[in-house]
Amino acid sequence: MTHSAWIGDLTAAQRDMAFGTGDGQLGFSVLRIPVPEDRAAWNRDLATAQRAVERGAAVIASPWNPPASMVETFVRGSQTDARRLRYDMYGAYAQHLNDFNTYLRNNGVNLYGISVQNEPDYAHDWTWWTPAEMVRFLRENAGSIGTRVIAPESFQYLKNMSDPILNDPAALANVDVIGAHLYGTPFANFPYPLFKQKGAGKELWMTEVYYPNSSDSADLWPQALDVGEHIHRALVDAEFQAYIWWYIRRSYGPMREDGKISKRGAAMAHFARFVRPGYVRIGATANPATNVYVSAYRGGGSTVVVAINKGSAAVSQQFTLAGASGSSVASWLTDASRNVASQGTSGMSNGSFTVLLPARSAMTFVIR
C-alpha cells in the first residue's frame, strides 16, 4: 500500500522496484491506495497508481472516512466522538465512491475494486460501521458502484463482520471480494468454512497486514522468515487469493526507507515475483518436514514451488510433479547473506527433483 498523505509518496525508482519483476525488484501485482474524503486530494497517489498499472499491477482503493458532510458523531462505549456514516447519506456515499472510481478511470487507472470502509470494527480514529450497517449499505446502495465492491475489511478477520454478508443473499449479490486484515489473527482462525460454503463466485483477499510487528527492523534474520510462513498460511490455510502489505516503504516493510529491499521484502518476493496474476495454487504437501512450508502454483506454462525452511538445519527435500511436464528447474534463494539470489538451473528425473533447503532460508523453484 501507498498512503502519501501520511508517509510521502514513492519515488519513480521505488515504484519500479515495487512493481517490477526483475532481479532486485519486489514483483508486487496489487497496489492498495486510500480514498481521500476530500476530492482536492484525489491526485495524491495517482502517479504511483499509474505506474503500478503500467507495470501490470491491479489497483484497489479503501476509504478511511466519508466526506465530513456525510458523517455524524455518536457515543460508542467510552468514545464520545465516534463517527459513523449518516443513514440518509448512504446513497451519496455510494456516489462518492463512484466518483473516485471515475476520476481514476479518467486518469488511466481502472480500479480492480473499491472497499466500503477500512477496518470498520477498529475505527477509533476513523469511521465505525456495525455489521448490520454494512449489510444495509451493501443491500441498498453498493449495487450502484461501478467497479468491484470489497467488504468488510475487518482488522482481525473477525467473522462477525463478514458472516452477516455471506448469510444475506441480497448483500452478498453486491459484493465481489470479501476483504480482511490479519492483525493479531491466530493461524487457527485462518480457515473460513462459511466462505467455502456460501462464497461461490466471490473472491477472498487479505487486503492489509504487517507481520510479525512494526517495531523491529525488516532486516532481522531469521525473523523475516516469519513473513514467508505468514504468506504461506494465508494462501494455503486461509485460501486467500491476494496478500497485501501495509506501507510498501517503511523500516518494518518490504522496502526500507533508503529504497532498498529488506529481508522481509525478499521473503515476499519469493512469492510475488514468481506467482503471477492468473496463476492457480495446486495441491502440495504443505508441511513435508518440521519447520518446512511448501506451496505450489501453476500458470504461464510453468509450475512454481515456494519452500520456506525455518529450521536450524538443512533439509533434503524431494519434489515430484503430478499431471505436469517439465525438464528444467530454475531456483532462487534468500538466506542470511543473500536476497532472492539465482541458483542457476538444474534438471529433473522422471518428474522429480531433490534439493537441499538450507537452514533458515526461502527458496523458489520455477519448473518448465
Q: Which helix (H) or strand (E) holds 120?
A: none
Q: Is the pTM of this model over 0.85?
A: yes
What pLDDT was estimated at residue 325? 77
Supply the residues annotated as catalytic: 119, 208
pLDDT digits 0-9 by tens, 212-244: 999 999 999 999 999 999 999 999 999 999 999
For residue 143, pLDDT beyond 90? yes
What pLDDT was estimated at residue 2? 97
Percent of the chain with pLDDT over 90: 98
| Total H helices, total E strands in the chain | 10, 18
**Grid cell digits, residue 283:** 495441491
Report the pLDDT averaged over residues 316-331: 92
For residue 324, pLDDT beyond 90? no
Chain-centre distance for alpha carbon 65: 21
Which CATH architecture best describes the domain 292-367? Sandwich (2.60)
For residue 323, pLDDT beyond 90? no
What pLDDT was estimated at residue 240? 99
Strand partners for 60: 32, 113
> What is the bridge-based pairing of β-strands 177-181 and 203-208?
parallel
pLDDT digits 0-9 by tens, 288-301: 999 999 999 999 99
Tell the burial category of 125 from Cβ atoms under 10 Å away from its Cβ (0-12, 13-18, 19+). exposed
pLDDT digits 0-9 by tens, 33-64: 999 999 999 999 999 999 999 999 999 999 99
Q: Where are the domains of the chain?
A: 4-273, 292-367
For residue 275, pLDDT beyond 80? yes
Output the average pLDDT for the chain. Answer: 98
For residue 326, pLDDT beyond 90? no
CA pair distance 7, 221, nearest whole angstrom: 26
What pLDDT was estimated at residue 271? 99
For residue 12, pLDDT beyond 80? yes
Provide the pLDDT confidence category of residue 209 given band limits of 50, 70 and 90: very high
pLDDT digits 0-9 by tens, 83-112: 999 999 999 999 999 999 999 999 999 999
Asked if the 4-273 domain carries CATH number 3.60.60.10, the reply is: no
What pLDDT was estimated at residue 213? 98
Provide the pLDDT confidence category of residue 260 given band limits of 50, 70 and 90: very high
